[in-house]
């Protein structure tokens, strides 16, 4: 059994001891150290590994561990200012078209400080994840024959077949490409379907990862407003015409951040607008398994008659941030282009990860988990809405969605800046997300996004809203 306090004591003793050794002198063997400290071999090995990481010892396989030579110290500061020119200058004095900006994504991935209530993260809390089922699935996957052999670049056949069935009747397994999560699929799709410098239509507001991926690919995001029924189709057709865009990225189900679902009567006009423009529709179906029990409309790809919809279908949100498995569905030449991009970027998704996903979704625990998750998310949403009405009636809940994990809150017109509200909330012990990064251009108002899935419990959601109200009052809101 690993004992962290024992390991720390051994590490401290050995660190002091090694410094008295001449360079190149061999340390006592692991067996001798185990006997000396009455510790496990694993505990001693961890201490030796820590010394090696500090540069104090060199471990030579088959020979032992030796006092290392002193390594040259790096200068305290390094002048990297030349990189500003190298990374941004282009021939002919043209402005750079590629922008690498992950600030909004890093906000999604931040680790909450101790004691803070997380109402910002896009991933469900570990208490909502099927950890035991995942561990069992991973163990079974590792024992499958050929689990450690190289998989086909498109993905293992059984998983492609499962995704095709799960999505609906339209895709065939040969249309499915397995990717390392939804964000990877988005990046691959945008880089493959649009040329640098081109416009790409996005919902407004939209998931910041779409904007970051588009700009990193040298694309120009053009916003198309969303209301409670999804993208406004009359403005979508106009945006296609005025921008010349060949790609529209949307989230028709429980859109991030608004929670809107594309209304049934808007589905055909969306596809018709894309058809008239000769454009692709990228359907990011990231949260289908986070419905709250109500019947859901089929994916937009089910209405696709000519290979116009490229569909992204991820397992990550409903399982774990570490199960980065998604399906990318495309037909015709688009599939070949996406497949090529996937091979260039990643070769393939690790087979053991694919096998783990297959074991999980084929187990009796999977439907049980989805039912439990739906019930828990519905309860949390209702508690969040009630707590906002009690503690922050001046915040407008723009829509109460029938699924997903977040609420989109409009702040009063005379509110302080979003960044001030977010900072004040953090000081009060709760993390929320500012609305500005969700817009491709100037925001229409001031917003916050509140995630009710990231808290450790339903009671934590209610407490987080109370803390948010405290932070709001402290910035002088009336």
Q: 4-67: which CATH topology?
A: Arc Repressor Mutant, subunit A (1.10.10)
Question: Domain segments of the chain: what residues?
Answer: 4-67, 103-127+367-474, 131-361
One digit per residue, the tens of pLDDT, for the chain of length 478 reads 344 456 778 888 888 888 888 888 888 888 888 888 888 888 888 888 888 888 888 888 778 888 888 766 555 666 666 656 665 555 554 444 566 666 666 666 777 778 889 999 888 999 999 999 999 999 998 888 888 888 888 999 999 999 999 998 878 899 999 999 888 999 999 999 998 889 999 999 999 999 999 998 889 999 999 999 999 999 999 999 999 999 999 999 999 999 999 999 999 999 999 999 998 999 999 999 999 988 899 999 999 888 899 999 999 999 998 889 999 999 888 889 989 988 888 888 889 999 999 999 999 999 999 999 999 999 999 999 999 999 999 999 999 999 999 999 999 988 898 999 999 999 999 999 999 999 988 888 899 999 999 999 999 999 999 999 999 998 865 4
Residue 373 DSSP code: H
Q: What does the pLDDT read at residue 420?
A: 92
CA–CA distance, 104 with 209 (Å, rounded to integer): 8
CA–CA distance, 356 with 102 (Å, rounded to integer): 29
Other Cβ atoms closer than 10 A to 406: 27
Domains 4-67 and 131-361 agree in fold: no
The CA distances from residue 287 to 370, 374, 415, 420, in Å, are 12, 12, 31, 30
Q: What are residue 58's DSSP bridge partners?
A: 66
Q: What does the pLDDT read at residue 31?
A: 85
Residue 416 CB partners (closer than 8 Å, separation 6+) = 424, 475, 476, 477
Contact indicator for 189, 85 with CB cutoff of 8 Å: no
- The three state secondary structure string of 180-236 is CCHHHHHHHHHHHHCCCCCEEEEEECCCHHHHHHHHHCCCEEEEEEEECCEECHHHH
Using left for φ > 0, alpha for ψ between -120 and 50, and beta otherwise, residue 230 falls in left
Residue 185 CB partners (closer than 8 Å, separation 6+) = 179, 312, 314, 326, 328
Contact indicator for 156, 358 with CB cutoff of 8 Å: yes
Q: What does the pLDDT read at residue 2?
A: 40
Q: What does the pLDDT read at residue 94?
A: 44
Counting every residue written for the chain, the total comes to: 478
Other Cβ atoms closer than 10 A to 105: 17
The CA distances from residue 215 to 160, 219, 357, in Å, are 30, 5, 31
Q: What does the pLDDT read at residue 375?
A: 94
3-state secondary structure of 429: coil
Whole-prediction pTM: 0.81
In angstroms and rounded to an integer, the radius of gyration of the C-alpha atoms of the chain is: 26
Place of tokens 């150290």: 33
Token digits of residue 166: 């799960």
CATH entry 3.40.640.10 includes domain 131-361:
yes
Q: Name the residue among 256, 260, 253, 229 with its Cα closest to residue 302.
A: 253
CA–CA distance, 151 with 174 (Å, rounded to integer): 15
Residue 323 CB partners (closer than 8 Å, separation 6+) = 134, 315, 316, 353, 356, 357, 360
For 103-127+367-474, CATH number out of 3.60.40.10, 3.40.1390.20, 3.90.1150.10, 3.40.50.1000 equals 3.90.1150.10
User: How far from chain centre, in Å, is Cα 443?
Assistant: 23
């Amino acid at each position: 059994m690993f004992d962290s306090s024992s390991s720390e004591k051994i590490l401290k003793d050995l660190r002091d001891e090694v410094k008295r050794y001449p360079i190149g002198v061999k340390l006592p063997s692991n067996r001798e150290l185990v006997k000396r400290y009455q510790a496990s071999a694993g505990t001693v090995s961890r201490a030796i590994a820590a010394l090696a990481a500090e540069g104090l010892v060199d471990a030579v396989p088959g020979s032992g561990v030796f006092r290392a030579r002193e390594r040259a110290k790096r200068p305290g500061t390094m002048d990297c200012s030349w990189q500003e020119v190298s990374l941004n200058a282009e021939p002919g004095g043209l402005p750079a078209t590629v922008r690498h900006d992950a600030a909004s994504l890093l906000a999604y991935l931040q680790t909450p400080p101790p004691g803070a209530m997380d109402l910002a993260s896009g991933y469900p809390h570990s208490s909502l994840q099927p950890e035991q089922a995942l561990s069992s699935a991973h163990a079974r996957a590792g024992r499958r024959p050929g689990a450690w052999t190289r998989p086909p670049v498109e993905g293992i056949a059984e998983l492609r077949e499962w995704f095709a069935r799960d999505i609906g009747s339209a895709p065939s397994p040969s249309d499915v490409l397995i990717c390392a999560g939804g964000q990877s699929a988005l990046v691959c799709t945008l880089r493959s379907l649009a040329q640098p410098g081109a416009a790409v239509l996005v919902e407004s507001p939209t998931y910041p990862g779409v904007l970051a991926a588009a700009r990193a690919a040298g694309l120009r995001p053009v916003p198309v407003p969303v209301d409670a029924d999804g993208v406004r189709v009359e403005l979508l057709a106009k945006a296609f015409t005025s921008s010349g865009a060949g790609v529209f990225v949307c989230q028709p189900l429980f859109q991030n951040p608004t929670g809107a679902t594309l209304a049934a009567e808007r589905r055909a006009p969306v596809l018709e607008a894309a058809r008239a423009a000769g454009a692709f529709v990228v359907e990011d179906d990231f949260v289908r398994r986070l419905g709250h029990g109500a019947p859901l409309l089929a994916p937009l790809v089910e209405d696709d008659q000519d290979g116009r919809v490229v569909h992204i279908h991820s397992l990550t949100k409903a399982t774990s941030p570490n199960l980065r498995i998604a399906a990318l569905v495309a037909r015709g030449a688009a599939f070949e282009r996406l497949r090529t991009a996937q091979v260039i970027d990643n070769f393939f998704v690790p087979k053991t990860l694919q096998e783990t996903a297959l074991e999980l979704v084929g187990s009796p625990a999977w439907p049980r988990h989805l039912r439990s998750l739906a019930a828990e998310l519905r309860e949390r949403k209702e508690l969040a809405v009630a707590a906002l009405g009690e503690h922050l009636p001046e915040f407008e809940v723009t829509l109460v969605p029938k699924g997903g994990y977040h609420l989109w809150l409009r702040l009063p017109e005379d509110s302080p800046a979003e960044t001030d509200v977010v900072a004040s909330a953090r000081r009060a012990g709760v993390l929320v997300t500012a609305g500005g990064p969700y817009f491709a251009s100037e925001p229409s108002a001031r917003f916050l996004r509140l995630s009710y899935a990231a808290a450790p419990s339903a009671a934590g959601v209610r407490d987080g809203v109370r803390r948010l109200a405290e932070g709001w009052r402290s910035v002088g809101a009336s």
